[in-house]
Amino acid sequence: MVARQADTLTSEPAAAPPVLLVAQHEGWVELTLNRPDRLNAFTEELHRSLAAALDAAADDACRAVLLTGAGRGFCAGQDLGDRAKAEGPLDLGATIEAFYNPLIRRIRALRKPVVCAVNGVAAGAGANIAFACDIVLAARSAKFIQAFAKIGLVPDSGGTFFLPRLIGDARARALMLLAEPVSAEKAESWGLIWKAVDDAALMDEARALASHLASQPTQGLALTKQALNASAGNALDAQLDLERDLQREAGRTPDYREGVSAFMEKRPARFSGRRA
């Protein structure tokens, strides 16, 4: 009898899935944090991917951004395991300076609306990144947690800026000092987010909203963001002067002319989003 040797099959290891999914739509882009096994917690790779995608979204062809997460959570904040790989003394401020602060600044400064669809838990920096976006929708099952106190840290990613302004000092202090979760429905009732929606309807509603915003007068929306961003630090006189200057700029855009023409002609406006 002659023994037969089984063929040995070899294959290349499967490539790791991208940590950020980028889906281009007509006039807008959908960005999905894609580390569902880690509740989309941030690593340096995810930070760099999201920064690059937001920079690409600054192109005039993109008129709105939708940010969401894959799986059962939106974002659990920092992946503590990723930090454990660092050599030498741990400097958490360096991570904030290199990644989180630039991310919040990118979102706030982007000259187009950023919609956030919170599909599950948003904890720590993950919650505050959501609050940095312009319009936040959340699934009814979602929860927001200022989890920093549980591990002896300070809220970052703009949390100590956004929360007192959104829900008042008393609630902001309690949420940060107690690290208690807030349901999506309570977040809506407090004014922490725009709207809580049924889980099954979240992405359809978020995509419809992003598509709508992408058809609107993009430059006017950008100038509105600029005014709102400045209002927290401006006295009334300074804000009135800023509104005057921004209105002057908005009045010179093609979309203002189109909006007036459409109103006078009793037809839907066809906004181009162009600067000039």
CA distance 43 to 37: 13
Q: At what angle do helices 125-132 and 101-109 cross, to 10 degrees?
A: 20
Q: Report the CATH number of the 218-264 domain.
A: 1.10.12
pLDDT bracket for residue 4 (50, 70, 90): very low
**Where do the domains of the chain lie?**
20-83+91-214, 218-264
- For the four alpha carbons of 172, 131, 241 and 257, in that order, the dihedral sign comes to negative
Share of the chain residues as helix, strand and coil, in percent rounded to the nearest 5: 50, 15, 35
Q: What is the pLDDT of residue 1?
A: 38
Q: Report the CATH number of the 20-83+91-214 domain.
A: 3.90.226.10
pLDDT tens per residue across span 94-120: 999 999 999 999 999 999 999 999 999
Q: Can you name the residues that pair with 129 across neighbouring β-strands? A: none
pLDDT tens per residue across span 159-199: 999 999 999 999 999 999 999 999 999 999 999 999 999 99
Q: What are the residues whose beta carbons fall under 8 Å from the beta carbon of 136, sequence distance 6 or more?
A: 115, 116, 118, 130, 192, 193, 194
